[in-house]
Amino acid sequence: MNNVVLNTDVTKGTINKNIYGHFAEHLGRCIYEGIWVGEDSSIPNTNGIRNDVLQALKDIRIPLLRWPGGCFADEYHWRDGVGPREGRKHMINTHWGGVVENNHFGTHEFMMLCEMLECEPYICGNVGSGSVQEMSEWIEYMTFDGESPMANWRRENGRQEPWDLTYFGVGNENWGCGGNMRPEYYADLYRRFQTFVRNYGDNKIYRIAGGANVDDYNWTEVLMREAAPFMDGLSLHYYTIPGDFWKGKGSALDFEESEWFVTMKKALHMNELITRHSTIMDKYDPDKRIGMIIDEWGTWLDVEPGTNPGFLYQQNTIRDALVAAVHFHIFHDHANRVQMTNIAQTVNVLQAMVLTDNEKMLLTPTYHVFDMYKEHQGAQLLDVSVDSGTYEMEGDMLPQVNATASKNADGVIHLSLYNIDHQHPASVSIDIRGIAGGSLSIEGRMLTADEMNAHNTFENPERVKPEAYTDFTVENGQLTAQLPNMSIIQLTIHS
């Protein structure tokens, strides 16, 4: 039996809406085809941005988008991506497939996209192969309102008003593709570069330092020790890889029961990583001024057979959906430190929200989790305790179910539950406390599937999608819900 206690009158802070953030890199078919098709495309678009993807992202209330990388960020020179498109430089995207990057999607196009999505931009600057001057002039170009060489150039390129830019990352994966640096060296570089990331006028930039890879706790220790006063956020990257990064990550569609289990186990590992990195951050920043910014996470699987290995195109199943739910519950549990996360990546790359095939588009199971959980954005986290049964395989055990809940400004409660067990359903007893008298009105939605690798295809795009959920009873504040194997439930509770 699984028991949950939900204290509806005990709040634990705000769930930053940016926990539901996204990441779009110049990688494979994420930006080009996935988002940008150009104004002359036969694919319906608005100013070059494809309409179907735009609408899909609006529907999940995308709060924030990180761009242009990833590894790409540390070889991106922003000047190449402004001015008349036909005159923009072509370059080689050396990290991702060695393809030609024509720079047609640059600063103006990205900022326009964010305005269309009504989401905040999060730009990652180039430390690895760029200069302090280049970074500082990019900020001036985007955010300075007065007379200056960069602001004037922006106007010549068609944008009068500066843009609002809140989030800026000072390099990416500086321990790896961003320059293979030691933390001591990067900490000094960070201090130097961020000095010239200026606040012009009312634009106040939240500076994010490049953080650790997975469990590199020394990186966090050194960055916090040497540079904490100069940062607002420190990043962390962790991908869920069922196999081995170099020897074979595992197929997105063709996997065994044991791979399902290990995927869940590795997704749950995020909790330990956040806890241990947070403990180090607490030592230098006990008031939690500095946000933990998990600006890359999600499943990283083998590319679909026959596709370019440098394009990182993978299918997406109910397993990926459960991975997303597992992460959200962990992020909520650490909402006092985790201020932003960005799943990798929005379209056609890694654990994507949507997949496209020329003019066709489908929503992935992961998309549907973002849709179901969007109600938690900016809501008050409620106190929930979970006593879960076990999900066992070959002598190993994981907690089978979990729950998280929030209350929005109108007092509406959203309770999310999952059952990661690929085989066994779960009965969950939920003691709803703190609501005086009266009856509860509860509506439910569920995402589940009949096979571990159930997924959506262009031929059958709605195989995995949310359905109405009614398999619960309520009596005297006691809710009993039946969770099928491999399921995610969202309950909306009005009192």
Give least dist CB 345 to ligand AHR, A. 6
Would you say the C-alpha torsion 138, 141, 145, 147 has a positive or negative sign?
Answer: positive
User: Does 101 interact with ligand AHR (rule: CB under 6 A)?
Assistant: no
Q: Given candidates 33, 75, 296, 371, which one binds ligand AHR under the rule CB under 6 A?
A: 296
- Of 14-22, 334-342, 343-351, 410-418, the window that binds ligand AHR (rule: CB under 6 A) is 343-351
Q: Which two tokens mark 409?
A: 């400004």
Give least dist CB 124 to ligand AHR, A. 9
Q: Given candidates 24, 60, 65, 71, which one binds ligand AHR under the rule CB under 6 A?
A: 71
Query: Closest CB to ligand AHR among 173 and 285?
Result: 173
Q: Given candidates 21, 48, 69, 169, which one binds ligand AHR under the rule CB under 6 A?
A: 69
Query: Closest CB to ligand AHR among 25 and 421?
Result: 25
Query: Closest CB to ligand AHR among 170 and 415?
Result: 170
Give least dist CB 24 to ligand AHR, A. 10
Q: Given candidates 70, 183, 210, 242, which one binds ligand AHR under the rule CB under 6 A?
A: 70
**Considering 86, 120, 296, 467, which one is annotated as catalytic?**
296
Query: Restricting to residues 159-188, which ones interact with ligand AHR according to CB under 6 A?
Result: 172-173
- Of 12-20, 67-75, 112-120, 327-335, the window that binds ligand AHR (rule: CB under 6 A) is 67-75
Query: Closest CB to ligand AHR among 151 and 340?
Result: 340
Q: Which two tokens mark 372?
A: 């179901």
Give least dist CB 198 to ligand AHR, A. 26
Q: Alpha-carbon distance 54 to 56, whole Å?
A: 6
Give least dist CB 257 to ligand AHR, A. 28
Query: Closest CB to ligand AHR among 344 and 464?
Result: 344
- Of 69-77, 79-87, 153-161, 257-265, the window that binds ligand AHR (rule: CB under 6 A) is 69-77
Query: Closest CB to ligand AHR among 236 and 372?
Result: 236
Size of the site for ligand AHR (CB under 6 A): 10
Give least dist CB 323 to ligand AHR, A. 15
**Considering 33, 173, 304, 459, which one is annotated as catalytic?**
173
Shortest CA distance to 281 belongs to which of 238, 329, 222, 335?
A: 222
Q: Which two tokens mark 468?
A: 């109405």
x-marked contacts with ligand AHR along 12-51 as a string, rule CB under 6 A = -------------x--------------------------
Q: Given candidates 57, 344, 403, 415, which one binds ligand AHR under the rule CB under 6 A?
A: 344
Task: Beginning with the edge strand found earlier in the chain, give each strand of the sheet holding 441-447 in spatial order.
Answer: 467-469, 441-447, 487-494, 413-419, 401-407, 380-387, 2-14, 426-433, 478-483, 472-475
**Catalytic residue list contains 173:** yes
Binding site for ligand AHR (CB under 6 A): 25, 69-71, 172-173, 296, 344-345, 350
The catalytic site residues sit at: 173, 296
